[in-house]
Structure 1
Amino acid sequence: MNEDIYSPNQSYKITLSSYEIKMSHWVAQPYLIRLSDDVTLFSLKGDPWSAFTVKWLDDVTVEMELARYPGRTSARLILQPAIDQATATTYTSSFSGTLSEVSRWILDL
């Protein structure tokens, strides 16, 4: 099951791809997609990260709160696809870089 959350100017969307990982336990895996060419710019595919909140701060900046299933690892992401920049913050550390660098950093937590 997918849910799409569009940027205010309809240039990007966050698709939450939800799947049941265990009986009654669901993961809403986020994907950031540029709509002009349907390219996925950011994903955490391969690791069960689930988005709890998604909020577009402006036309090109999205904020997400995520948690890895199972466990207690969580992160706050700020993604800016128009300039290929992102920041991830956990309880103990923070990292900024390109969208792909931040994706790799999160997957390595």
Structure 2
Amino acid sequence: MLLAVFLGGALGGLARWGLADGLGAGAHDGAWPTGTMVANLLGALVLGIVAARLLRHPDPSPRRARAGALLGPGLCGALTTFSTLQVEAVRLIDTGHPGTALAYLAVTITGGFALVRVGLRA
């Protein structure tokens, strides 16, 4: 089980790094932190899908439990980041872009809730 979480975490961390590198990270000069937002929204969707699958099978087989550990706390745990969301929002405020910070928080949080719901229904 620990190996599944570790491997999922490695994949999630690499995916988050790739998104930040490809789409932009940080909230400097009022820039929208697209990489972090996409990582958080994608993680919310995947977590909704994983949760729905586990809820359908409340007594999972060892294989299903390992897949849930790999995708849930492993992949999604490393892919998503609430702490970076907060730091980027504060950075936007500190650089004189409070409206962008509020919009970024609103889009990420409401979008995350919506995508978990989509994942649960998928």
Asked whether the two chains share a fold, i.e. TM above 0.5, the reply is no
Between structures 1 and 2, the one with greater helix share: 2
More strand by share: 1
- TM-score normalised over the length of structure 1: 0.29
